[in-house]
Structure 1
Amino acid sequence: KRKYGTLDALNAAWYRRFERWEQVEPPRASTILSYTDYLDWRTFIDDKLAGDLRTRVEAVRSADHTHPITSHAAVPALFTSPTDGYGEPDDWKMAAAADFFGTSLYPKHSESTRPWPYPQIAAGLDFTRSSGNSFRKGFWVGELQAGQGVTGMRIADPVVSRDVEFWMWKVLSHGAREIAVYAWYPMNAGFESNGYGLINLDGTLTDRSRGAGNVARIISRHGPELLTAEPAPAQVAILFNRLSAMVGGAQPSLSKLGNAMRDSLLGLHRAFFEQQIPVDFVHPEDVIHHRLARYKILFLPFPVMLSREVAEGVTRYVEDGGTAIAEARLAWNDERGFATDAIPGFGLSQVFGAREKLIRPVEKAQILIEPSAGLPELESSERVAGEAFEEELEPATNGRVLARFENGEPAIVEKSYGKGKAIFVGSFLALAYQRQHDASTARLLLALARAQGVSPEVEVSGPGTSEVELRRLVGNRVEFLFAFNHAGTTADATISVRLPWPVEDARNLADDGAVPFGVTGGKATFRKNLAAGETWVVRLQGR
């Protein structure tokens, strides 16, 4: 009723002949015809979940005007789908409803097929952080796994002290404002018996509980500064667009790609994560309401279903000087599930300087970079791996071809538009990188970003450092530098940090010991021999 107002409008949208509102029910079966009703139903579920949370927040607030009111998801929405079961929450809508929204984090849950690899943990935390960031709110972890995952006889890998310590530091490095380690005492009944506790069932302490306590004491000593510090700002934005998960409606057999939306988001995040370049996920509402000005580049992965309002927001972003990079079948369907007149739809073919000529399914797309492309640190004629389709493009007269498929047809087209630039890629690069992990795909994604001035502010080099992750929290003339060695071997690391001020003092957060540093090329540099699995946190004070 709120969306359409009248039965006549609803009947026109759904192709129905309802005579009264009581006849309107959720769709029960897939159809070869219009599935606007299905899209509306799934959107209603999102709105209902957020609305229920808002009602609870308002009820609590009516009696308590002092304390923050929070909620958290079972898992970041990055890893779910709006088509799952009775529906999954949209983290952005939920974050809007509460003072703080967050997530559970169980990297070794018994329901997982394997322990979460560290890039997945990073992506999930960045995603949850981004949902609050859109409303200038922090986030929290409402349940951080404390002990071994157990569900009946499904028993996960043991959780050791180093796991809990790493997870606590990792969550903090992403800007979490609170961490609830769950739980102190293990479950003592039900199908989770003996699982998920920080201590033993007989009440004796474990190495995990001692390790968690030590990290908590260090964090508490620096609490005021940590609470006012923010994650290093991102120059790269990745659009999280749930509509793309629903192309075709309720029939999952219509796609052979699996959860392509999730894997595309993970692939893009991973390409920049591996180069120490922070990214933000952004929501369609961020695009519609002009909240993208701080980003140099906007990626639209797997953008096969797009609303008109988002398309108009992308156009404005480019007109105002941003660079948008979109993958194959951009805005193929609109928010009603109807095909647009051309691909890209909603006039985006004029923005991106090309339109789809034909599309063919392939196991692995092959893209050849043009010698004239001029993309930084990318060799001319380099072969790049795509995924699922080759979409041959028909460039406009002012569209510049950056790459071609093996048959010579245009595969990537660039166009200047307004004060900015738009680049259209006729395959799914992000999906390819997540599933194939072909280095050529990452090189292309990074080259497109570097061409717009994106570069890392922290770097690490030296023997054994390929799995060293760096993160920063930025405050007022103070920064916290986190170094995580994810490898099973020692890393002899040289770390450089570009800062807006000269460093006066550097201290190890664990013991407040002085950390030697140098200055090279305007960057502060540090040497550290990181043990396997070690976490090192340094506080940098500016002059």
Structure 2
Amino acid sequence: MQKRATAPRRKSGSDTEAAILASVNTRNLTLLQHRSKPHVTEGDDHNRACYGCYKALNHAHIAVDYITECQIEEGVLNQYKALYLPHVMVMSKAVADKIREFTANGGAVWADGRCAYLDEHVFLRRMIPGHGLDEMFGCQEADFIAARDTEFRLGALRGCMFRQYLVPTTGEVLAEENGKALIVRNKFGKGETLLAGSYITLGLQRLGSDEATMNAMAEFAFRHGVKPVLNVAPSAKIECSVMHGPDADVFILGNRTQTSVTARVELESSYAAFTRNGVRQNGGTVLEQPLAPEETVMVIGYKK
């Protein structure tokens, strides 16, 4: 029991500063729409978008929690700095009110995929986004059309499948096409929002990775105080994680590439020593480890 009580723990729960809404309501809708058509893949688009969103944030070493509508209604947003709404089509008033409150109190909300165009009864809203989220995002939908091109650019972001043209009210236009807004950023209370008018996160799963898109999505979190799990370089080439314990921390470093690379981690506190495969190394505030192609290693850092 004592060993279990002092075992290292992963960064999770209250340590995590960003969240992704895994919408049960949106999943239920798409399941009902496609339950009699198993050959149609679009029924899983929200799950795919959630994965695409996670993919972008994980690429920048940002720890995230998946949360549901029930958790939002219970007040879980209070523990986060940034909330991502990937392809969340269905939104109840109760959830929308909590998200508005979160933003007004200083939170940051990023959304795409025709966010909240249906209410909890699956009715099309007169105003999109619905339930007052148009005020929060500082814009309203003007049109929603299928794209002739499979992919296209919205500033730094890569669009996919559809274009949602937006009319800014209080928001700032960050990207436009032929004079029509496609990305709008808005100040709401103490917080900030960004609405991207296309299937950005779904595209990261369907079309594959896009460096500029993933960097821009992560930058939104960094802009609002979210910190990465570790400050590691070269960031794009390294997969990393950390487990914390009372006497030591465990660092997991992986090489994402097909070539050798040296991972350099700048740590917030100094360690007495590091060990890798039982070999003791000097401690300090910097951890450097050579990694072979696709190699993953575990390094123990002993606290002073």
Per the normalisation by structure 1, the TM-score is 0.50
Q: Among the aligned pairs, what percent are the same residue?
A: 25
List alignment gaps of at least 5 residues for structure 1.
1-221, 370-381, 519-523
2:301 match = 540
Tell me which of 158, 169, 192 is aligned to 1:385. 158
Structure ID, larger Rg: 1
Report the residue type matching 2:167 in the other structure: E
Aligned mates of 1:245, 1:457 — CA distance in 2: 29
1:34 match = none
1:366 match = 152
8 Å CA contact retained: 1:485, 1:530: yes
8 Å CA contact retained: 1:287, 1:313: yes
1:296 match = 81
1:290 deviation in Å? 1.4
Aligned length: 297
1:353 match = 138
Report the residue type matching 1:478 in the other structure: A
Q: Are positions 1:230 and 2:10 aligned together?
A: yes
Change in 2 beyond 3 A, CA 1:274/1:419: same
Deviations 1:129-186 (A, max 9, x none): xxxxxxxxxxxxxxxxxxxxxxxxxxxxxxxxxxxxxxxxxxxxxxxxxxxxxxxxxx
1:88 match = none
Tell me which of 236, 242, 248 is aligned to 2:24. 242
Aligned mates of 2:30, 2:297 — CA distance in 1: 48
Partner SS for 1:389: strand
The structure richer in strand per residue is 2
1:33 match = none
Aligned mates of 2:287, 2:218 — CA distance in 1: 26
Deviations 1:325-355 (A, max 9, x none): 1213222112222222211111111111111
Tell me which of 324, 327, 345 is aligned to 2:112. 327
8 Å CA contact retained: 2:59, 2:214: no
Partner SS for 2:6: helix
Q: Which runs of 4+ in 1 moved over 4 A?
A: 253-256
2:267 match = 498
Partner SS for 2:124: coil
Aligned mates of 1:318, 1:517 — CA distance in 2: 41
Aligned mates of 2:146, 2:117 — CA distance in 1: 16
1:223 deviation in Å? 5.5
Partner SS for 1:273: helix
8 Å CA contact retained: 2:105, 2:191: yes
8 Å CA contact retained: 1:327, 1:428: yes
Partner SS for 1:516: strand
Change in 2 beyond 3 A, CA 1:237/1:294: same
Partner SS for 1:330: coil
List alignment gaps of at least 5 residues for structure 2.
none
Tell me which of 405, 409, 413 is aligned to 2:184. 413
Aligned mates of 1:237, 1:481 — CA distance in 2: 23
Change in 2 beyond 3 A, CA 1:479/1:333: same
8 Å CA contact retained: 2:82, 2:224: yes
Aligned mates of 2:295, 2:86 — CA distance in 1: 34
Give the root-mean-square deviation of aligned CA atoms: 2.7
Aligned mates of 1:481, 1:471 — CA distance in 2: 6
Report the residue type matching 2:189 in the other structure: G
Aligned mates of 2:51, 2:154 — CA distance in 1: 24
Q: Are positions 1:445 and 2:214 aligned together?
A: no
Aligned mates of 1:298, 1:247 — CA distance in 2: 22
Tell me which of 260, 269, 293 is aligned to 2:54. 269
Per the normalisation by structure 2, the TM-score is 0.87
Aligned mates of 1:466, 1:338 — CA distance in 2: 42
Aligned mates of 1:452, 1:281 — CA distance in 2: 19
Partner SS for 2:90: coil
1:282 match = 67
1:526 match = 287
Report the residue type matching 2:172 in the other structure: R
Aligned mates of 1:467, 1:502 — CA distance in 2: 24
1:262 deviation in Å? 1.2
Aligned mates of 1:346, 1:267 — CA distance in 2: 26
Report the residue type matching 1:366 in the other structure: F
Deviations 1:378-418 (A, max 9, x none): xxxx5x3111211110111x21111113x221111122112
8 Å CA contact retained: 1:386, 1:441: no
Q: Are positions 1:480 and 2:250 aligned together?
A: yes
Q: Are positions 1:424 and 2:195 aligned together?
A: yes
1:45 match = none
1:395 match = 168
1:507 deviation in Å? 2.6
Deviations 1:39-73 (A, max 9, x none): xxxxxxxxxxxxxxxxxxxxxxxxxxxxxxxxxxx
Q: Are positions 1:310 and 2:95 aligned together?
A: yes
Higher relative contact order (CA 8 A, sep 6+): 2
Aligned mates of 1:269, 1:541 — CA distance in 2: 31
Aligned mates of 2:123, 2:95 — CA distance in 1: 16
